[in-house]
Amino acid sequence: MNFSVVVPVFNSENTIELMVKKILCFFSEHEMSCEIILVDDCSHDQSWQIIEKVSKMHKEIKGIRLNSNSGQQMAIYQGLHYCEGDYAITIDDDGQHDIEDLIQFMPLISQNYDLIFGIYKSYNDPSYRKRGSGYIGRFFKWRFKNLKGMRVSSFRVVEKSLYQCILNKKKKFVYISAELLPYAQKVGNVAVTRHMRLEGKSGYTLGKLLKLGLNLYFFYGVPHIFNEMNQGKAYDETVVNGWCGELSNQRHPQNEGNGL
């Protein structure tokens, strides 16, 4: 069993190396193989230079650089196109997700769950974040009956045949959990630990949460009505203008930007 760890990166120059070290140490300690796909969402700092650096140091690391800031969901979506693992893991770049918690997912993986979400016991977010998360949670319970009362999060483990179902779709707006759930056969939750952010603060403002909620209802609430309106270039190799590490021959950008 091998894993692809997809990490959307934005202005994380001071935390990338520590995060990569923790991931590599975990998989080495547990004698499992992995690849790490770092997707730079057009950072303003030296994140891409750090990604290039660590990709030269570790063969497990691949880097993708987007040519414009597309947001966390789209960055993950782009990264999934470069995965080769039996399972894809999606985690944030701020250090709040702990790769050690992958151990909690293993019993459900062994039971052939194809989509597993890591859920915090307590979020300790500002009140507007709690309300926003609550609205989004209610949307998913209403729209996706196969959740059966469970919750979604950005800390996911996705089986290969499932994440491949959502690739190469042309959409303006993508929300990873909403893309995966229609195809998921067995969905599970596991309890995970929430750590303090390594630095900085969340980019999800009240305005962004409201916009996210509206887009979810608009594009995923009644899909047979809004599918045609959501046609775009959600995945298009032209959005990638840089790469590093050993990418799959199946999805190696031949003509974009400057690669290593």
**45-54, 61-70, 126-135, 166-175: range with lowest mean pLDDT:** 126-135
The torsion region of residue 126 among left (phi > 0), alpha (psi -120 to 50) and beta comes to beta
Average pLDDT over residues 166-190: 92
With contact defined as beta carbons under 8 Å apart, do 2 and 86 qualify? yes
* Residue 71: HSE in the Cβ half-sphere, 13 Å Cα cutoff: 14
Among 225, 216, 114, which residue's Cα sits nearest to residue 174?
216
What Rg, from alpha-carbon coordinates, does the chain have? 17
- Hey, what are 67's tokens? 């040519």
Q: Which residue has the higher pLDDT, 219 or 48?
A: 48
pLDDT band (50, 70, 90) for residue 246: confident
Ranges 121-130, 184-193, 232-241, most confident: 184-193
Burial class (CB in 10 A: 0-12, 13-18, 19+), 40: buried
pLDDT at 254: 43
pLDDT tens-place string over residues 94-117: 888 999 999 999 999 999 999 999
Average pLDDT over residues 9-18: 94
Give me the residues paired with residue 39 across strands.
Answer: 8, 64
Domains, the chain, with CATH or none: 2-126+150-201+232-251 (3.90.550.10)
